[in-house]
Chain A
Amino acid sequence: MTDAAPARPGGAMVEFDGVGLRYGPDAEVLSDISFNLQPGSFYFLTGASGAGKTSLLKMLYLAQRPSRGIVRLFGEDLVAMPRHRLPGFRRRIGVVFQDFRLIPHLSARDNIALPLRIAGVSEEDLSGPVGEMLSWIGLGDRSDARPATLSGGEQQRVAIARAVIARPQLLVADEPTGNVDPEMAMRLLGLFEALNRLGTTVVVATHDIHLISRIENAQMMRLERGRLSDPTGALRYPPANRA
């Protein structure tokens, strides 16, 4: 087990060093988590239900600060970072939630356009990318549909489109293919791979072992009872950084 060893930075996009997380007075749900995520890499996060995958992702997409340890994102220490600076970092991260979290009174188009609007992109400039994204996920003719009128798979596609529309530097996805058919799962994975080729670092939490084998050069993180298992050392010492 290499978790106790210090993390080697080396220009990593994300650095976790000795991170622990507990909710209230309970025992830690994550303990001694140390890893580096390199820019432009593709990672799968696996583990049994309750292993702490969602908690780890929450820290990655800045919804949760760790109880201890060091978390650096884009080279900056997030543990001590003041709240008012967090939105700027969040705009560089795309998140696909397990439960989609679409805004129910907004159309599919408006849900997808949300990150661009929040970032201050004009309506003129966002209409093209949003239209293209709608067509790509196969909802071009249902752009005005509210989430409640969409199937689970369609909602998931909208959630993914919303996460990637602003071309994030880091994409975090929690079970992104859980509600779509195998064909759509492969298409979505293809989108993630395409984004990854363009330089986006991708972290996908999944139970689907078949999905993992589809991406070449993807690295795997496995959580077991709140601890990161990295038997190959690829996360801590990726080939590019090995001495």
Chain B
Amino acid sequence: MIIPRVPVQHRRLLPDRRLSGPTPWVIAILMMLTLLAAAAGFGLARSANAIGAAIAGRVTVQIVTANPVTRAEQAVALRRAAAAQPFVLSARAVEREELQATLGQWFGAAEGDDPVLKSLPLPALVDIDFVGEDRTGPMRQLQALVAREAPGARIIPHAEWLGPVARLIRSLAWIAGGMVLLMTLASAAVVIMTARAALATHFPTIEMLHMIGATDRQITRLFQRRIAIDTAYGIALGTVVAAAILLLIGLQWSGVTAGLAATASLGPAGWALLLALPLLAIALAALTARQTLLAALKKIL
């Protein structure tokens, strides 16, 4: 049992005041940081996976033929030919207006109606998604197709330029996971110190209880219960604060619908794990306290 049941009269063997002084506050801070790091880790991992899945089988063909009419015809022909291939899931020609709108953000013309921008010789782009994630075979076939329909066009696999970003995000997720682990260890260390301090403070009582025939189990349950309750207070406080922060971030995040940021979310599994973390933390604290107490009591005859 995480918080052992101890008869009411036995609970009075320890003083009513909290055992552990600042421990609940330290645990609260560590729990809050753990939950925030875990949430960041889950979000980043999902984002990295989403990006990875999205870019694994996607390429963009960039047609840079000088003659704009020929360039447009090549784009249409390539899109049509690609869409008919069994290894192609979808093929889409990127509209010139879409390109101008994207570039307009850098030119300072939101509508893409900047005269300089309009005069630029923009390449024709065709986005192609392969069936499955294997790129080797489809890439060879696409190269042949491109050489036939739009000679001189470049094939740009998205994995080449978005891959490092996905790897960076995945690294950040691992770092967040490492932080969760470190903070869990720090929390366990705090519990161990609390248990030892409680034993030192109450040593005369423990010695007396031993002398009148109390077993290690009776004494351990007494302290384990109190430490688990103290720790649970801290964990509850840390969880409430972390939940409030995550809710606030979630509200702001919900306004972000484009780009990489839109791929970051916790998902049901992430939320479930976040909810499980405080319970696991209480169990870990109780177990750590129990083992520490038993080990310390064994040193006393």
Contacts and interface: CB of A to CB of B under 8 A. Distances in A.
B213 A101 contact: no
A223 to B, nearest CB: 22
Given A106-B12, A110-B12, A117-B10, A64 B211 contact: no
A117 B215 CA distance: 12
Contact of A83 (B16, B212, B301): B301
B210 A90 contact: yes
Interface in B180-237: 204-205, 207-216, 218
B257 interface: no
B215 A87 contact: yes
B211 A118 contact: no
A62 to B, nearest CB: 7
Contacts of B10: 117
Contact of A88 (B12, B205, B210, B213): B213
A84 interface: yes
Given A101-B204, A106-B12, A115 B212 contact: yes
A204 interface: no
Given A87-B213, A114-B212, A118-B213, A65 B301 contact: yes
Contact of A118 (B16, B214, B216, B301): B214
B35 to A, nearest CB: 36
Contacts of A90: 210-213
B150 to A, nearest CB: 84
B250 to A, nearest CB: 47
Contacts of A84: 215-216
Contact of B301 (A62, A95, A113, A115): A62
A61 B10 CA distance: 23
Contact of A103 (B7, B9, B205, B215): B205
Contacts of B13: 103, 106, 114
> Taking each of B16, B209, B213, B301, which has the highest tally of chain A beta carbons within 10 Å of its own beta carbon?
B213
A113 B214 CA distance: 13
A101 B208 contact: yes
B298 interface: yes
B15 interface: yes
B41 to A, nearest CB: 44
A38 B214 CA distance: 26
Interface string A95-112: 100000101011000100
Contacts of B16: 105
A125 interface: no
A105 B19 CA distance: 14
Contacts of A115: 212-213
A61 B211 CA distance: 8
Contacts of B215: 84, 87
Interface of B: 7, 9-10, 12-13, 15-16, 204-205, 207-216, 218, 298, 301
Given A83-B216, A101-B211, A103-B205, 14 more contacts: A62-B301, A83-B301, A87-B214, A89-B213, A90-B213, A103-B208, A105-B16, A106-B12, A106-B13, A115-B213, A117-B7, A117-B10, A118-B209, A118-B218
Interface of A: 61-65, 83-84, 86-91, 95, 101, 103, 105-106, 110, 113-115, 117-119, 123, 162
